[in-house]
Structure formats: structure tokens, C-alpha cells
Structure 1
Amino acid sequence: MVKISTNSTSVYWRTSTYSSGNGSSQCVEAANKEGYAFVRDSKVRSGPMHLFDASAWTSLLEALKR
């Protein structure tokens, strides 16, 4: 089990460059901490997050670029 604090002062969340900020429902934020990547819905910041280790995160990003 991985237990990493992700409160607002412990990580820096970045909004996707594809998020338009115009009310679109397709907004995500990502943060890195201790070798893991966190991804969450920017409209539901207190909701669930996806957690990826560095290798899985890199693989996901590479696959999305194709």
C-alpha cells in the first residue's frame, strides 16, 4: 500500500494544457511527489485520484502522444 499525503500544501497541481477553462468537463490536473504521479478531475478536487508510478506515467504519456 502506498500512503502519500496529497493535501494542497504538499503537492503542486498543474492543469492540463488541453483544459480550456471555459466550463468544459474534460479538465484534469496532475501532480508529482515521491516518484508517483497523481491525476484528478479539476472540477472535483476532493474526489478520487489516479495514482501512477513513474514508469506507468511515462508509458501513459507516450501512448497518448501516438
Structure 2
Amino acid sequence: MIAASNLKTAIDLLLSALFIGIATYVFFFAGATDQNARRDLVLYASLTGAYGVWRLIRVLLAKKNQEENV
């Protein structure tokens, strides 16, 4: 039971880091020739990064609740 919980937490942390990493890459390194396309890329990067941060917050809150219930 504990191993499955730790595996789920590790996978969730990895996914969170991937979303934040992809957002960072798109935001800083993906260049667009058109100004409208660049604005769209920044918007998508912001949304992707926000989702990654939200996943990270959920993981941390779930871990905190799990520790309190022990």
C-alpha cells in the first residue's frame, strides 16, 4: 500500500515537472516568426505551466493529508 502510494506520488511529481519544463521551454526558447503566433505560444506556455504548478500543489497537499492521517 505504501509502495503504491509512493509510486503514485513520484509519477505525479514527474508529470508536474514535465509540464513546467515544457512550459519553460516554449516560453523562452520556441521562437515564432509572427507576432500573433508568439503571443499564442506565450499563452499556451502560461497555461501549461499553470497546470504543472497546480499538479505540484495537489501532490503536496495529498502528501500532507496522508501524513496527517497516519
Task: Tell me if TM exceeds 0.5.
Answer: no
Relative contact order (alpha carbons < 8 A, sep ≥ 6): 1 or 2 greater? 2
TM-score, normalised to structure 1, is 0.30
Which structure features the higher share of helix residues?
2
Which structure features the higher share of strand residues?
1
TM-score, normalised to structure 2, is 0.29
